[in-house]
Amino acid sequence: MAFDFKKEYREFYLPPAKPGLVEIPPMDFIAVRGRGDPNEPGGEYQRAMGLLYGVAFTIKMSKLGARPIKGYFDYVVPPLEGFWWMRDGGAMDYSRKEELCWVSLIRLPDFVSRGDFEWALGEAARKKKQDFSPVEFLPYAEGLCVQCMHIGSYDDEPATLEDMEEFAAQQGYALDITPERYHHEIYLSDPRKVPPERRRTVLRVPVRRK
């Protein structure tokens, strides 16, 4: 059976629908940076999805090719994730999506080295005859965070985020969003198939001791 990160690391991908503290270990990702409204048809965000999944599935299907990856095991491609912030550096404002900046991410299995990533980048570009240079190998050490499962529309996230900030304060912590530590979302529902009121999104914000 293929290794499923969501099931094996439930504390990171399937938290309860109430805030809790979690220490996130360092992970490696494939990533594409951009800005603007993620809902814009054919926009920058939509193009980033094609690049991310092109590389992700090149790595997953490497087991069928001529270049074996050392330590490879069969796995389910992890869910799409995103780091988000406002262009002006202010608090998240869901009414100004055109001012959003983002890094879209997919987690890499630990056996994937930077060299394996570079190979996959070239292989995807060769097969799809497309420029994959915007895709980067991104190590990220997230550290201590408050996280919660948000159920509902993305536009309804502010209420959940308020609960998370209140919980952090009660535990003696303050939000610690900086240019290096981000508002983080993990998308467990396919918005093409799941109605807004039923979508599950892991919300995660970094914190520090007051």
Q: With CA atoms as reference, report the closest residue to 205 among 33, 85, 32.
A: 85
- Supply the mean pLDDT for the chain: 96
* φ, ψ at 163 (rounded to 5°): -60, -40
pLDDT in tens, 28-81: 999 999 999 999 999 999 999 999 999 999 999 999 988 989 999 999 999 999
DSSP state of 65: S
Quick check: 170 pLDDT over 90? yes
Q: pLDDT tens digits for 1-36?
A: 899 999 999 999 999 999 999 999 999 999 999 999
Nearest Cα to 150, choosing from 82, 86, 83, 204? Answer: 204
Q: What's residue 110's pLDDT?
A: 96
Q: What is the pTM of this model?
A: 0.96
Mode of pairing for the β-strands spanning 27-35 and 183-187: unpaired
The C-alpha atoms of residue 94 and residue 206 are separated, in whole angstroms, by: 19
Q: How is 102-132 classified by DSSP, letter by letter?
A: EEEEEEPPTT--HHHHHHHHHHHHHHHTS--
Average pLDDT over residues 186-202: 96
pLDDT of residue 61: 96
Contact residues for 3 (Cβ-Cβ < 8 A; gap 6+): 73, 74, 75, 76, 109
Query: How many Å apart are CA 209 and CA 194, to the nearest integer?
Result: 37
Average pLDDT over every residue of 80-84: 98
